[in-house]
Structure 1
Amino acid sequence: MKTVQRTDERILSSDIFDRDNKVQRPDHGQWAEPGREIPIYHRCQVLVVGGGPSGTAAAAAAAKQGADVALLERYNHLGGLSTGGLVIWIDRMTDWEGKLVIRGFAEELFDRLPQDAIAGPVREDWGSQDPAKAAHWSQRTAAYHGVVTWSPTIDPERLKLLSQEIVLERKVKLIYHSWAAVPIVEGGKVKGVVFESKEGRMAIMADVVVDATGDGDLFARAGAAFVNDIEEADVHHCMNTSWLFGGVDMTRWIAFKAGQPEQFSAFMARGREECGLFERPFVSWRNDVALFMGPRQSGYSALDVDDLTAVEVRSHRAMAAHLDFFKAHAPGFEDAFLMLSAPQIGVRHARRLTGVGAVLRSQWPVGLPLPDEIGVSPAVSPKFPNISIPYGALVPEQLDGLLACGRHISCDRNSHGFMREIPQCWITGQAAGVAAALAAQGGIDARDVDIAQLQAALLAQGVYLRPGAPAAAATQAVHASVAA
């Protein structure tokens, strides 16, 4: 077990648990798959593959821009890790001065969610450095470095329903229970995907495909360059299955954790000793529901089916062990019960696109708007300014017909620590959807979309952008990078 300490570049302290020993998979030989013709299920202007935070935002934004859109999702719900993964603590959407910078689709969601589905500080307190308010919200995932932030917890079922209704309102063709398997590539351009469902193998053809799989499955299989290096001293490469306990009293738990630090420390030490894998609970949208977003497990690959299975097995066993220990020893957990383990495994990192642009650690201290800015991320600590997200981070170096959004966009391993978060996925998803719509409507490739037109369309959809260098310079920079 490693303990990652909280620093200016990391919000939380956390424990990271090493993997179990890996058993080598035996070689069972090969089977040659026979060739066949498959039916084309659908044709559209924009196909979004993956209905997580970025894919839902992409589909909704592309349709709002007037495109004919299809959204392919392997599960029975939208929202991805923010719903099925139980990552219901939505990370910071305000900067360190309290300004809401994660807007657009994200803001629409929170405006439309029922108030009893959201728990977080009132708008008047965003950016507050009042010690009492910061102390209160620091125990409730909404204050860091002594600053109150807008980082609420939400009801995942409400977000599932709302996400679905938004895309259906905009006439998106929604396809559940379908897993994209192979990109259709002709002449270096993605033309659609082959997907699997209970009906068998079928294809969808599209003018532009948006890879919102989270792991870069499509762009990798289409031959686009990517990287998968990790930051060892961070949790961004770890996996786990989250869970919820019901029947708890989080007010009592917080009073114990905050008011009796020595006893809490002893409790955590005993938990690690008795349970091995061990994690503390976080608040949820209700006082009687506790959220566990760990234990975080290191050394497993999100691209290895045996590793994925092993993480699920360890996580579910840890869930049961936690229940026994917390019921016996944790104030507020005497009547706790197993409420729900996440239907989706918590993958933080697999691949990252090599794009014509990127979000880089070297940009953090500068904070200047990039010429092709399509969104703004809050910085990781108050010592840094807000961080510009470039359109080039969504565009593959070489591959045409495809845009990427979500946790697999082009960025370095340090920046990935926050670019993988739910709000940043909403940002890049909305930008990819609008850009894909503009490309399809204009009969051009996504890399040739006019940056000024894209930024104007994003502003019209409520996205927060800042004045920067002339957009023409961004277009030239994108083409120059491709040529290089």
Structure 2
Amino acid sequence: MSDTPNGRLFFRSETFRVEAGGSARRRHPRVTGRSLTEPARDIPIHAECDVLVVGGGPAGTAAAVAAGRLGARTMLLERHNHLGGLSTGGLVIWIDRMTDWSGTPVIRGFAEEYLARLPRDAIAGPPREAWGSRDAATAAWWALRTAAFHGIVTHSPTADPEWMKAAALEMVVEASAEPLFHAWGAQPVLEGNAVRGAIFESKQGRRAILARVVVDATSDGDLFHRAGAASSDDIEEADIHHAINTSWMFGGVDMEAYLRWRAEQPEQFGAFLQRGREAHGLFEKAFVSWRNDVALFMGPRMTGFSAVQVDDQTEVEIRSHRLMLAHLAFYRAHAPGFAGAWPLLSAPQLGVRHARRLVGMGAVTRALWDGRVAPDEIGVSPSLSPRFPNVSIPYGALVPVTLDGLLAPGRHLACDATSHSFLREIPQCWLTGQAAGIAAALAADSGVEPRAIPVRTMQQALLRQGVHLSPAIAAAG
């Protein structure tokens, strides 16, 4: 991590620039400039509810549970056959920091309860007494296991994606929220300047769900974008957070042997990575999972592709799957612990880190990493570095500037490109999703727009659901 002359902090990791239209790129049919006129038709109304959550990823799952627990009639629309989004279907099973640099848990509420539901053998990470430890040997050991940064041990577990799917589904059902799988949210239902539902595509064709409040948890801002709300898409080329790839896992490995090699033979390990790059161009190191015999690969991370262009998404999938098999052969031949490796699973969901970011009534920006507490705080995030205090997340970051009837938690919330590098992470999506679900339920119950919810009422509801707020906010009564 380092500061650039413009004062922005980058989270650096190896990315691979891939030029669009290069010789290795498949040729796809492009936009022709022609169009078809679709005849007007009646769209069946599939259901009506108080709160409709579109997208069952981390933010959407947390939103549905939070809204359902407040008694709102809640529906959760999901295009896949499971909940959890990138944390399950995307195999991003490494859950980034949920503690601050002192070891204090700050991302709590839904996130804490969710992980506590997992069986002991389905989650791995530092014990609670180690959180915040600066002991050099302890931090070095956990750094190899993606749970220590800057010499400090953090609560950053890895978890079994199937158990996470099961726990998420049970929490949604227990909250009396209704999941609807295999349904792709396609268009917002608009009444003037307000979103009052969504049209989805399914095996039954095009159908609609009407709602008092909609939570856009698509992660790419699909609904608020199609409703005309403003968004940003600027990125930092030196930062990892805009890269795309498909993750995968190998079974039949001995990760402890591999990690000993990394720690004890760093020059050999460096030469191994270099040979891999020379052989395959794009090459990634293995990460730990929740068990010793499963290795996780969260890359290679490719830039130069759009997360909202179907041709680019297809190209990334092709490249990623070819790279998976190339990695398998190379690791089997050259990496300790991988001689008997086999392809366990490639992620059924594409690993998108960035597409659009809402232009909201408020936003998290680099200038706000100074410890100030937002008056409309809905949660607290750890900062990127011990040099900075915790970051207060404002409710305004979920609320479009003018569009009513909609909230936008998750990785497409309002923030600058630098702050996005940590606000896109899974714990932060749980945090903002829970806040959006609470706000949506309160708005639906009181018959007002989400922007009109009294901040203190919302904060009290957050505290009752176990969310951590800054001491000044929590003590306000």
Q: TM-score, normalization: structure 2?
A: 0.96
Equivalence map 1:369-408=2 (5 Å): 369-408=373-412
What code does the residue aligned with 1:237 have?
H
SS of the residue 1:182 aligns to: strand
The answer for the alignment partner of 1:185 in structure 2 is: 190
Aligned partner of 1:363 in structure 2 is 368
Deviations 1:431-483 (A, max 9, x none): 000000000000100000000000000000000001447999xxxxxxxxxxx
Offset at 1:11? 5.3
Whole-angstrom distance in 2 between the partners of 1:290 and 1:425: 25
Given that residues 253 and 293 in structure 2 are in contact (C-alpha distance below 8 angstroms), is that contact kept between their aligned partners in structure 1?
yes
Which of 196, 199, 224 does residue 201 from structure 2 map onto?
196
2:176 maps to which residue?
A: 171
Q: Deviation per CA, 1:7-65: give whole Å up to 9, x if none.
A: 37455532333245265715162111111011100000000000000000000000111
> Among residues 328, 331, 334, which one is paired with 1:326 in the alignment?
331
Q: In the alignment, which residue of structure 2 is the partner of 1:481?
A: none
Give the counterpart of 2:301 among 296, 299, 310: 296
Percentage identity across paired residues of the two chains:
63
Separation of aligned partners in 1, 2:113 and 2:85: 18
In the alignment, which residue of structure 1 is the partner of 2:265?
260
Residue type of the alignment partner of 1:290: A
What SS does the aligned partner of 1:201 have?
strand
- Within the candidate set 396, 399, 421, 2:425 is matched to 421
1:460 aligns with 2:460: no
Q: Distance in 1 between matches of 2:172 and 2:224?
A: 24
Note the alpha carbon deviations across 1:366-394, whole angstroms, 9 max, x for none.
11211000000001000000000000000
Taking a change above 3 Å as real, the CA distance of residues 447 and 28 of structure 1, as seen in their structure-2 partners, is closer
Name the aligned partner's letter for residue 7 of structure 1.
S
SS of match in other structure, 2:445: helix
Q: Deviations over 1:398-434 (max 9, x none)?
A: 0000000100000000000000000000000000000
Mapped partners of 1:471, 1:121: distance in 2: 31
Paired amino acid for 2:424: R
1:436 match: 440
Local SS of the residue matching 2:240: coil
Partner of 2:312: 307
CA contact (8 A) 2:15 2:243 kept: no
Q: Does residue 15 of structure 1 match 2:15?
A: yes
> Is 1:71 aligned to 2:76, yes or no?
yes
Amino acid at match of 1:201: R
Q: Which moved more, 1:184-193 or 1:46-55?
A: 184-193
1:241-294 superposed Cα distances (whole Å, 9 cap, x missing partner): 000000000001001111111111100000000011110010000100000000
- Structure 1 gap ranges (5+): 1-5, 473-484
Q: How does 1:327-366 map to 2 (within 5 A)?
A: 327-364=332-369, 366=370
Partner SS state of residue 358, structure 1: coil
TM-score (norm 1): 0.94
* 1:118 and 2:123 matched: yes
Q: C-alpha deviations, 1:296-326, integer Å up to 9, x for none?
A: 0001001100000000000000000000000
Asked whether the 8 Å contact 1:16–1:235 carries over to 2, the reply is no
User: Could you say which residue in structure 2 is the equivalent of 1:409?
Assistant: 413
CA distance in 2, matches of 1:471, 1:452: 11
Q: How does 1:174-253 map to 2 (within 5 A)?
A: 174-253=179-258
Do the aligned residues in 1 keep the contact of 2:122 with 2:160 (CA within 8 Å)? yes
Task: Quote the Cα distance in structure 1 between the aligned partners of 2:195 and 2:458.
Answer: 21
- Which residue identity does 1:423 align to in structure 2? P
SS at match of 1:195: strand
Letter paired with 1:310: E
Give the count of matched residue pairs.
Answer: 466
The Cα shift of 1:187 comes to 1.2
